[in-house]
Amino acid sequence: MAQEVSLREAYGKTLVELGRGNPDIVVLDADLSRSTMTRFFASEFPERFFDCGIAEQNMVGIAAGLAASGKIPFASTFAVFAPGRCFDQMRMSIAQPGLNVKLVATHGGISVGQDGTSHQSIEDLALACSLPGITVIVPADAVETAQVIRAVATSYGPFYIRLCRPKSPLVYNEGYRFNLGKAVTMRQGTSATIIAIGIMVAAALEAANNLKREGINCRVLNMPTLKPIDEAAIIKAANETGAIVTAEDHLEHGGLGSAVARVVARHKPIPMEFIAINDTYAKSGTPAELLKRHGLTAKDIEQAVRSVIKRK
């Protein structure tokens, strides 16, 4: 098992690095800086850190005003609160004017665990992807998180970046370089393609390893930029492998599966299966228990691959 590292910590530490190099970087939080890890930035640059208290809508608006004045704001809270609680603010204060705000939400998905339904964001990618003009990114591990945060700091425009709560297995080594808008081929294969995001990338790789023993050679794509999605990589996978399974810690509606299916339906209709949460809320439990309960494990991916191949 690969080493497990916190994405949130990678985020917090990268912010400090960026802050040292660019005085225009400012950071906002809504009384969760100990959880989102923006506290590292807060202690080094107190004058550039704005704790907005438990008032996420105001935080998003302030971030927009800072961006309209030339600052590069990173605003953080839990994904259930932004976009969940701030959809209209994200829409009118950030997305419509295309302002340079980086909304980095942590605690995405049911892997949040014991805190239960209220804190498990399973709709945020659908909400964020629905907003014209916002780029949506879901890093797969701590290495990619650091890369993504550096990349968006120098890429003008509104971003929504979703991080998970638990420490996650590293799927990249330090040499990895994130490429905005591009899928990453994690493993070559021709039997079928597994396209995954976030914590499901590690599960996809595990599934592909296990399936190889059965003679099934899966391609695995990590799709860190969910919107705009890398259509070329999807079309290529559809053409070359003839079947696709998507995997995400999010509702089936409006997330990765929907986005991939749109491309497949338009360009190369092939069988697909979807590993995602099926139109329900999860309860309290350990992350592992919940992922198992809702069908988001490597074993579930393996089963989906076997089924999708039969439909080729």
Q: Which of 39, 71, 187, 293 binds another protein (CB under 8 A)?
A: 71
Q: Which of 46, 53, 132, 228 binds another protein (CB under 8 A)?
A: 53
Strand partners, 184: 222
DSSP labels for 151-203? HHHTS-S-EEEE--SS-EE--S-TT----TT--EEEE--SSEEEEE-TTHHHH
Site for another protein in 96-115 (CB under 8 A): 96-98
Catalytic residue status for 289: no
CB atoms within 10 A of CB 242: 18
| Residue 175 tokens, joined | 């040499």
Measured from the CB atom, the residue of 7 and 27 that comes closer to another protein is 27
Give the position of tokens 């419509």. 96
Measured from the CB atom, the residue of 93 and 246 that comes closer to another protein is 93
Measured from the CB atom, the residue of 132 and 228 that comes closer to another protein is 132
Q: What is the arrangement of strands in the sheet containing 72-78, beginning at the earlier edge strand? A: 49-51, 25-29, 72-78, 102-106, 159-162, 135-137, 225-227
CB atoms within 10 A of CB 188: 11
Question: Could you tell me which residues come within 8 angstroms of residue 240 by beta carbon, excluding any fewer than 6 positions away?
Answer: 190, 219
69 binds another protein (CB under 8 A): yes
Number of residues that bind another protein (CB under 8 A): 31
Q: Which of 21, 47, 154, 215 binds another protein (CB under 8 A)?
A: 47
Measured from the CB atom, the residue of 92 and 288 that comes closer to another protein is 92
Measured from the CB atom, the residue of 62 and 259 that comes closer to another protein is 62
Q: Which of 16, 27, 37, 52 binds another protein (CB under 8 A)?
A: 52
x-marked contacts with another protein along 19-38 as a string, rule CB under 8 A: -------x------------
Question: Please, what sign has the CA dihedral across residues 155, 83, 96, 197?
Answer: positive
Interaction site with another protein (CB under 8 A)? 26, 47-48, 50, 52-53, 55, 57-71, 73, 88-89, 91-93, 96-98
Q: Which residues are catalytic?
A: 56
